[in-house]
Amino acid sequence: MNISASDVRHALTELGRLRFGEMRVEDAMHEIVQATHAIFDVDGAGLMLADAEHHLRNVAVSDDRLGHLEDLQVRHQEGPCIAAFEDKELVGAEDLTQDKRWPSFSEAAVSRGVRAVLASPLPYNQDAVGVVAVLSEKRHPWSAEGELALLAFTDLAALLIASMMQGEEQSELAAQLQIALNSRAIIEQAKGVLIGQQGLSARSAYEQLRAQARAERRKLLAISAEVVRNAARDA
């Protein structure tokens, strides 16, 4: 797949009307996903936003296999979209049959017909609130031009979300996203507590919180809030 600069300019020009039109944000996100799917000439594209439990949930998809991505990443708590979301950087996997970073997810994804994924974090107020992702059912090297194109579409989606969050009329999606942002702030505070107390890395602190939530069959947000409260009490 070769994506030229003119291809990207054309697609963004077509989508530029979304920034100034009266289309509902949810509908605009679907437009972005469909355009992303078309320009990448891949087997699927999607936009995921985080929920209150830090799970990535589909908001707009071009292919049912994106539903598999959501399900598998929530079930296995790993995968390229989660990595992009957590690390706030572009993450690509050109062949999940050879990729060792997410063993449980990769095996399950390949069995569902997903072999390559490229995921870009969706920024909002210096944080990530979701991802825009494309997938292929075959091995798929992601070119530098392709990565730049996905970042461009991600930035457009971020502008729409920022407009939605700052608008006077708060939609149901905006309310859901605000809850997710509030919960992420608590989870980040809990990670900071563990980093300070135990000298962990940010990733290790998050893994510890998730492991405790699974072991106790409690929500990640509840565990995180408890860690923050205990740290404040002991201070």
Q: What is the pLDDT of residue 4?
A: 58
Give the count of beta carbons closer than 10 Å to the beta carbon of residue 157.
29
Q: How far is CA 152 from the centre of its chain?
A: 15
Highest mean pLDDT among 4-13, 159-168, 175-184, 211-220: 211-220
pLDDT beyond 90 at 94: yes
> Does residue 14 or residue 115 have the better pLDDT?
115
Q: What percent of the chain has pLDDT over 70?
A: 88
Is residue 181 predicted with pLDDT exceeding 80? Answer: yes
Q: Which CATH class is domain 5-166?
A: alpha beta
Would you list the domain boundaries of the chain?
5-166, 172-234
| pLDDT (average), residues 60-66 | 81
* Assigned architecture for domain 172-234: Orthogonal Bundle (1.10)
Mean pLDDT of 137-147: 88
* pLDDT tens per residue, range 33-52: 887 777 777 888 889 988 88
| pLDDT tens track for 120-137 | 999 888 888 899 999 999
What span, in angstroms and rounded, lies between the C-alpha atoms of 160 and 178? Answer: 15
pLDDT over 70 (residue 208): yes
pLDDT value of position 32? 79
Q: What is the reported pLDDT for 97?
A: 96
pLDDT attached to residue 60: 86
Residue 79: predicted pLDDT = 93
Instruction: Specify the pLDDT at position 29.
Output: 79
